[in-house]
Amino acid sequence: HLTTSLPLPSERDHLRPRIDLIAFMIDIKSRYSLKNVEASLAHVDASFFLGKVCFLVTGVGRVNYCSIEMNAIWKLGKVYCSPVLFCELELEGIRVATAQRLLRMLQICAGHIPGVSALSFSSLMRNSADD
């Protein structure tokens, strides 16, 4: 399901399946997209933040056009305990690789991989500098 902001329109609640993973896309060229994501995060139930949320930062290929500071992104990932992925949608190879990563994460979040749960993501994210 694609949406431009949260909350989701309520008229389709009954048609919607269970949500296993929420990927927030932030365009590094647009401050507006970061603001939009921050506003939408407030509408997400706390239980999602146990591994079922990730941040996808796009447009990282063009270093000259960054409008968002890296610190803001790292902080977002830390505050919400969720992984931050970087990609460049305009390059097919990276696009495909990112899609495969997301798909793998989705399989784990949906419980399709025995022995691995979404809770593992937070431990995998721990920065060695933090300890």
Partner 1 sequence: MDETVAEYIRRTVLKIPRDEIKTMLQKWGFLSETQLQTINFHQIKENISHDVVLLCEENSADIKQAAVLDIIYNHSYPNKRVWSVYQMNKTGEETELFDLTDFKKKFKRRLRSALKNVTINFREYEDNAIWIRIAWGTPYTQPNQYKTSYVVYHSQTPYVFVSASVLKSNLPLLCQALVVASNYHDIREMELRGHSLNSLKDIVFKRYNQNFQTYYPRPLQERNVAPGSADLRIIQENRSEKERIQRVNREVFGDGPQPKLEFAQYKLETMFKSDPKMDVLDKKEPFRCLVKFSSPHLLESLKSLAPAGMADAPLSPLLTCIPQKARNYFKIREKKGVFPGSFVSP
Q: Work out whether 123 is an interface residue with partner 1 (CB under 8 A).
A: no
Q: Which is nearer to partner 1, 33 or 98 (CB)?
A: 33
Cβ within 8 Å of residue 29, ≥6 positions away = 59, 62, 65, 66, 67
Shortest separation between residue 2's beta carbon and partner 1, angstroms: 5
Q: Work out whether 10 is an interface residue with partner 1 (CB under 8 A).
A: no
Angle at 57 between CA 52 and CA 11, to 5 degrees: 55
Stretch that binds partner 1, among 6-14, 84-92, 101-109, 112-120 (CB under 8 A): 6-14
* Nearest to 57, CA basis, from 20, 76, 85: 85
Q: Which of 26, 28, 33, 80 binds partner 1 (CB under 8 A)?
A: 33
Cis status of the peptide bond prior to 7, with omega within 30 of 0: yes
Q: Work out whether 100 is an interface residue with partner 1 (CB under 8 A).
A: no
Q: Which is nearer to partner 1, 5 or 117 (CB)?
A: 5
* Nearest to 2, CA basis, from 18, 27, 24, 20: 24
Chain residues binding partner 1 by CB under 8 A are 1-5, 8-9, 12, 30, 32-33
